[in-house]
Amino acid sequence: MNPKQLKGKREKLGLTQKDFADALGLGRNGDRTLRRWENGESKPSQIEANAIMNFAQNIPFPNISAESAKFTFIDLFAGIGGIRIPFSQLGGRCVFSSEWNSFSQKTYRINYGETPKGDITAIKSSDIPDFDVLLAGFPCQPFSQAGLHKGFSDTRGTLFFEIERILEDKRPKAFLLENVKQLKGHDHGNTFKVILEHLDKLDYSVDYKVLRAADFGVPQNRERIYIVGFDRKRFSEDTGFTFPEPPCTPTRVGDILEDKVDEKYTISDKLWTGHQRRKAANRKAGKGFGYSLVTADSEYTGTLSARYYKDGSEILVSQGDKKNPRKLTPKECARLQGFPGNFIIPVSDTQAYKQFGNSVAVPVIRAVAQQMAKVFLA
């Protein structure tokens, strides 16, 4: 492999040297190593060269053909496509996706073979193809109390309005919305109240439930609210839909941990001392906040968040008494969210942590999708 081939491969993927180095697992100073390779100052080994040329050579989750699709769907606020995967596996074809973050767009493109459209607020409903199911893990935003019960006016300026207008204009058979558990109590319950009122006015029957990822086979104490709706004009009020019964199979953190982990994931003495000092101060003040330490034998971790890249405090993995704990690797974060093993992580560690922290627990989505399909595919 010559320097021109290496650089060409990276640029074709649209990745920075930092992105590519972290994705290839080149270690703490991997971007410097990659830079030297691209400048011809040194050469990768044959094993490293093969890994580079084989990286993202194939699309792991190509879209199903229009001829073989059982239904169609759109993927809004798509992130890295965690909601998309189970619906595709059920025979769905994605006809439109939207995600504004450029780093998430890279990950999406490399895994699904398409780049999502950008800001949904700038996209007309008429530019979206007809579809059967709307999927959205939308951000939570407050609505004006002054605007309550005033139709569309009280959701304008919020991202829920984008979902609302698309539902009204396109009239899909069904939808699935995912959000943080706290949505129910947001703004003293007014935000959720408005959402339900507006979905009802659009003539959709709605069910919702908080489900926990650890009850669906992944070792993470992640609770999210899932809102499912069906078009009353196509289905009776009693659709027969029920949320899935959690299998509650035993989970173990060790099942998602890698056997060999680079030293760069071990936190520094300074950071570890700071974590311990803050936890001790919080304990003294009667607060329960502080770092969370798990072992391979722990039942589950806390909730992975988008801020995990900052200090990893919510999930630290013990490495014994003689060594500082470490952060999860991006691959372990993918496993903690239940992503398939062939999911490609083509961005820097920092961006990967943000992406998986913002994503969904795929096995929970899969269980909900299967229950929904019993209705809209009947």
Say if residue 146's pLDDT is above 50: no
Distances (CA, A) of 242 to 71, 83, 114, 222: 20, 19, 33, 21
First-to-last CA distance in the chain? Answer: 53
Query: Catalytic one among 94, 140, 248, 333?
Result: 140
pLDDT digits (tens, 9 = 90+) for 29-75: 899 999 999 999 999 999 989 989 899 999 999 999 999 999 999 99
| Interval 325-338 mean pLDDT | 98
| Interval 277-292 mean pLDDT | 83
- Regarding beta strands 133-136 and 174-180, do their DSSP bridges make them parallel or antiparallel, or are they unpaired? parallel
CA distance 365 to 9: 34
Domain architecture of the chain: domains with CATH: 3-54 (1.10.260), 71-248+360-376 (3.40.50.150), 253-357 (3.90.120.10)
Q: Identify the residue with better confidence: 151 or 105.
A: 105
| Interval 235-263 mean pLDDT | 94
Say if residue 340's pLDDT is above 60: yes
Q: What is the pLDDT of residue 141?
A: 67
Q: What is the pLDDT of residue 234?
A: 94
Q: What is the pLDDT of residue 7?
A: 92
CA torsion angle for 89, 94, 99, 104 (degrees, to 10)? 40
Say if residue 353's pLDDT is above 70: yes
Asked whether the beta carbons of 13 and 345 are under 8 A apart, the reply is: no
- Tell me, yes or no, if 333 is annotated catalytic: no
| Interval 339-366 mean pLDDT | 96
Q: What is the pLDDT of residue 143?
A: 61
Q: Which two tokens stand for residue 113?
A: 């073979």
Q: Identify the residue with better confidence: 282 or 82.
A: 82
